[in-house]
Structure 1
Amino acid sequence: MQELIQEGRAKVNLTLRVVGRRVDGYHDLESVVAFADCADSLSLTPGAGLHLATSGPLAQACGEPEDNLVFKAAQLLSERVPGLVLGDFTLDKMLPVAAGIGGGSADAAAALRLLAQANGLALDDPRLIEVARLTGADVPVCLNSNACVMTGVGETLMPLSLPKMPCVMVNPRVPVATADVFKALGLRNGQLLVGATDVLRTPGWPEDGASLEDWVEALAAVSNDLEEPAMRIQPVIGEVLAALSASNGAWLVRMSGSGATCFAIYENTADARRAAQQIQTDHPGWWVHAGILS
Structure 2
Amino acid sequence: MTAENPTIDDSEIACAKINLALHVRRRLPDGYHDIETIFAFLDCGDHLSVIAGTNIELSVEGQFSDGLSNSDNLVLDAARLLALHANIDAGAKITLDKRLPVASGIGGGSADAAATLRLLNRFWNTELSLESLAKLSEPLGADVPACVINQTCHGAGIGQDLMPIENGKLSGHHVLLVNPLVPVSTAAVFRDWDGVDHGGLEGSDPLLAAMAGRNDLQKPAQILAPVIGDLLSELNKTDSVIARMSGSGATCFGIYETEQLSHAAEKRIVETLPNVWTMVGGLR
TM-score by length of 2: 0.90
Determine the structure 2 residue equivalent to 1:190: none
Q: Is the 8 A contact 2:179 2:276 kept in 1?
A: yes
C-alpha distance in structure 2 between counterparts of 1:285 and 1:233, whole Å: 18
Determine the structure 1 residue equivalent to 2:138: 133
Tell me if 1:235 matches 2:238: no
Tell me if 1:51 matches 2:57: yes
Tell me if 1:100 matches 2:93: no
Tell me if 1:154 matches 2:159: yes
Q: Is the 8 A contact 1:77 1:127 kept in 2?
A: no
Instruction: Please give the secondary structure, in 2, of the residue aligned with 1:16.
Output: strand
Determine the structure 2 residue equivalent to 1:2: 6
Q: Which has the higher helix share?
A: 1
Q: 1:217 to 1:119 in 2, by over 3 A?
A: closer
Determine the structure 1 residue equivalent to 2:27: 21
Offset of residue 46 of structure 1: 2.6
Tell me if 1:244 matches 2:235: yes
Offset of residue 70 of structure 1: 0.1
C-alpha distance in structure 1 between counterparts of 2:26 and 2:227, whole Å: 27
Q: 1:60 to 1:20 in 2, by over 3 A?
A: same
Tell me if 1:223 matches 2:226: no
Q: Is the 8 A contact 2:172 2:258 kept in 1?
A: no
Equivalent residues in 2 for 1:23-38, closer than 5 Å: 23-38=29-44
C-alpha distance in structure 2 between counterparts of 1:91 and 1:219, whole Å: 32
C-alpha distance in structure 1 between counterparts of 2:227 and 2:204, whole Å: 31
From 172, 178, 183, give the equivalent of 2:191.
Answer: 183
What is the root-mean-square deviation in Å for CA atoms of aligned residues? 2.0
Offset of residue 45 of structure 1: 1.1
Q: Is the 8 A contact 2:134 2:144 kept in 1?
A: no
Determine the structure 1 residue equivalent to 2:281: 291
Q: Is the 8 A contact 1:12 1:33 kept in 2?
A: yes
Q: Is the 8 A contact 2:21 2:38 kept in 1?
A: yes
C-alpha distance in structure 1 between counterparts of 2:211 and 2:159, whole Å: 22
Offset of residue 24 of structure 1: 1.6
Determine the structure 1 residue equivalent to 2:79: 74
Determine the structure 2 residue equivalent to 1:259: 249
C-alpha distance in structure 2 between counterparts of 1:262 and 1:293, whole Å: 15
C-alpha distance in structure 2 between counterparts of 1:123 and 1:144, whole Å: 12
Alignment length, in residue pairs? Answer: 275
From 258, 262, 270, give the equivalent of 1:272.
Answer: 262
Q: 1:19 to 1:53 in 2, by over 3 A?
A: same
Offset of residue 254 of structure 1: 0.4
From 172, 179, 182, give the equivalent of 1:174.
Answer: 182
Identity %: 40
Could you tell me which runs of 5 or more consecutive residues in structure 1 were left unpaired when the two chains were aligned.
188-192, 207-214
Instruction: Please give the secondary structure, in 1, of the residue aligned with 2:92.
Output: strand
Could you tell me which runs of 5 or more consecutive residues in structure 2 were left unpaired when the two chains were aligned.
none
TM-score by length of 1: 0.87
What are the superposed Cα offsets for residues 119-145 of structure 1, whole Å, 9 maximum, x if unpaired? 222333887444411111111011121
